[in-house]
Amino acid sequence: MKYIIHDQVTLAKAPEGPLAAHLASFANELSAQGYSGQLLKLQVRIAAHFSRWLKQRGVGARDICLEHATWYLRYRARHVRSYLDDRAALGHLIAFLDRERLISAQRMPARRLTPIESCTLAYIEYLHEARALSKATIVYYVPFIREFLEHCFDDGPIRLSRLRAGDVVSFVQCQALRLHLKRAKLMTTALRSFLRYARYRGDTTLDLAAAVPVVANWSMPSIPRAISADQTRQLLASINRQTAVGRRNYAILLLLARLGLRAGEIAFLELDDIDWGAGQLSVHGRSGQRNELPLPADVGKAIAAYLQHGRPKSASRRVFLRARAPITGFGRSGVGSLVRHSLQCAGIDAPTRGAHQFRHGLATQMLNHGASLSEIGELLGHRHPQTTKIYTMVDIKALRTLALPWPGGVR
């Protein structure tokens, strides 16, 4: 006799053990996250086997912890045919039990932090509490600080009092060689912030922030690299809008091309940010600012087509969702990956593989058609006029192709 757990999952035996009563709820949550078919069956069946294994060992629901999942995986590897997805499936189950408060939080063993992790967490708390920096800024800073601490202390204890100017200079020199100018600039900014934090804590009396070298050539060496209008048209024409993923990708690329939005602004766009009646889009810009932008008809039509015939069912308020489970919104890196993949499939040799080139392309086109710097800055959400002025720089190489010959010829 088969036992129905979910409309897509049946078990050969009646479920047993401390988790038997919760398998249906687990299956429903997985289904709501977009899992279906074989993946849904696999995860629920492993949960049922895990529950039976727990019963055999006399483990109650309130006593379950991560160690039991580890022990079960070892047992499964020895006695049952195991798969690569088993560990992920049990991870989803433990997370579900924790969210539903079916297992005791104190039973979840806390992993001991490394010295670098402890120091980094304290710095993050300082940035958040004392400096009130945005989450995005903190995310940008932290990887550089981890690398700096690894460079100076390796796996040993963190003693900031032993830092010297030579440590700072050698780290910057090493990192600057492999980083793009913008990343190098961000790295030095993060490093100065951390060294000021170390002095604020009293870990060092030296002003090591002043020892951070300035990476040469900060001035913009040329006009920003922008995708051309022809390449943009070619890319948009290459998208297959007969599929759900194609409708989503087309709408995202249109937002990049027509409004010059940043990748993060598109990724975090929510359904409530679209005012269909007024034809406006409310964009969450940098530093928490919101910009109200007009919604072009073709962009609105593309978004509507995706919402009606491509967007998966989800409780998420994000406009653009992943096509595969778990069905959630994606980050700015997801938009960048979409752009790279689309350019590659279309065979377009664009100036870069990133999403920001559309922003530069839009600004360049507006300038060529007579738009003022204030109009361009308003559309792109620039807070400072100086940011928009980079588009007025002259492309000398392009101008040389237009140069008239000297009337008297070469002498």
Q: Mark which of 211, 241, 267 sits at the end of a domain.
A: 211
**Cβ–Cβ < 8 Å for 364, 392:** no
Question: Number of structural domains, the chain?
Answer: 3
Q: In the predicted model, what is the mean pLDDT of residues 247-252?
A: 96
Q: Which long-range contacts (CB under 8 A, 24 or more apart) does 327-336 make?
A: 327/33, 327/34, 328/33, 329/267, 329/268, 330/267, 331/264, 331/267, 332/262, 332/263, 332/264, 332/266, 332/267, 333/263, 334/267, 335/252, 335/263, 335/264, 335/266, 335/267, 336/263
The answer on 386 and 263 residing in a single domain is yes
- Give the residue ranges of DSSP H helices in 202-243: 229-238
**Cβ–Cβ < 8 Å for 285, 265:** yes
Q: Mark which of 153, 185, 211 sits at the end of a domain.
A: 211
Q: For residue 309, is it within any domain? A: yes
pLDDT per residue over 329-359, tens digit each?
887 788 888 999 999 999 999 888 888 888 8
Percent of the chain with pLDDT over 90: 27
Q: Given strand 280-284, what is the order of strands in its sheet?
A: 274-275, 280-284, 290-294
- In whole angstroms, give the CA distance from residue 105 to residue 100: 11
User: Residue 270 forms beta bridges with which residues?
Assistant: 318
pLDDT per residue over 355-373, tens digit each?
888 888 888 777 776 767 6
**Cβ–Cβ < 8 Å for 120, 146:** yes
The answer on 11 and 97 residing in a single domain is yes
The answer on 102 and 121 residing in a single domain is no
The answer on 167 and 84 residing in a single domain is no
User: Residue 290 forms beta bridges with which residues?
Assistant: 284
Closest CA to 223 of 404, 400, 398: 398
- In whole angstroms, give the CA distance from residue 356 to residue 361: 9
Instruction: Tell me the two tokens of residue 402.
Output: 């237009």
- In whole angstroms, give the CA distance from residue 196 to residue 303: 46
Residue 155 has what pLDDT?
A: 76
Least confident of 75-79, 120-124, 269-273: 75-79
Q: For residue 310, is it within any domain? A: yes
Residue 389 has what pLDDT?
A: 58
**CATH number, residue 254:** 1.10.443.10
Residue 309 binned pLDDT confidence (cut-offs 50, 70, 90): very high
pTM: 0.58
Count how many residues are written for the chain: 411
Residue 392 has what pLDDT?
A: 55
The dihedral formed by the CA atoms of 126, 132, 133 and 136, expressed in degrees to the nearest 10: 100
- Tell me: pLDDT of 221 over 60: no
The answer on 342 and 294 residing in a single domain is yes
Residue 106 has what pLDDT?
A: 46
Residue 307 has what pLDDT?
A: 95
Burial grade of 253 (CB within 10 A; 0-12, 13-18, 19 or more): buried
DSSP 234-289: HHHHHS-TTSHHHHHHHHHHHHHHHH---HHHHHT-BGGGEETTTTEEEEE-GGG-
**Cβ–Cβ < 8 Å for 194, 145:** yes
Residue 290 binned pLDDT confidence (cut-offs 50, 70, 90): confident
**CATH number, residue 154:** 1.10.150
Residue 38 has what pLDDT?
A: 80
Percent of the chain with pLDDT over 70: 84
The answer on 255 and 120 residing in a single domain is no
* Structural domain span for residue 307: 229-396
What 8-state DSSP symbol labels residue 323? S
Q: For residue 203, is it within any domain? A: yes
- Tell me: pLDDT of 120 over 60: yes
Tell whether the torsion through CA atoms of 293, 375, 266 and 364 is positive or negative. positive
Q: For residue 20, is it within any domain? A: yes
Q: Which residue has the higher pLDDT, 63 or 409?
A: 63
Residue 191 has what pLDDT?
A: 95
Average pLDDT over all residues of the chain: 82
Residue 219 has what pLDDT?
A: 47
pLDDT per residue over 151-206, tens digit each?
898 878 899 999 999 899 889 888 877 777 788 889 999 999 999 999 998 998 88
Residue 32 has what pLDDT?
A: 80
- Tell me: pLDDT of 23 over 50: yes
The answer on 328 and 207 residing in a single domain is no
Q: Which residue has the higher pLDDT, 410 or 143?
A: 143
**Cβ–Cβ < 8 Å for 369, 302:** no
Q: In the predicted model, what is the mean pLDDT of residues 131-145?
A: 87
Q: Is the peptide bond before 326 cis (omega within 30 degrees of 0)?
A: yes
Residue 99 binned pLDDT confidence (cut-offs 50, 70, 90): confident
The answer on 75 and 130 residing in a single domain is no
Q: For residue 42, is it within any domain? A: yes
- Tell me: pLDDT of 109 over 80: no
Least confident of 43-57, 108-122, 168-182: 108-122
Q: For residue 407, is it within any domain? A: no
The answer on 94 and 11 residing in a single domain is yes
Q: For residue 193, is it within any domain? A: yes
Q: For residue 409, is it within any domain? A: no
Q: Mark which of 84, 107, 130 sits at the end of a domain.
A: 107
Residue 256 binned pLDDT confidence (cut-offs 50, 70, 90): very high
- Tell me: pLDDT of 240 over 90: yes
Residue 252 has what pLDDT?
A: 95
The answer on 376 and 295 residing in a single domain is yes
Residue 220 has what pLDDT?
A: 46
The answer on 145 and 63 residing in a single domain is no
pLDDT per residue over 391-407, tens digit each?
555 444 444 555 556 66
Q: In the predicted model, what is the mean pLDDT of residues 268-280?
A: 92
Residue burial 361-397, b: 16+ Cβ < 10 Å; e: rest: bbbbbbbeeebebeebbebbbbeeeeebeebeeeeee
Secondary structure tally for the chain: helices H, strands E: 17, 5
Residue 399 has what pLDDT?
A: 47
The answer on 101 and 126 residing in a single domain is no
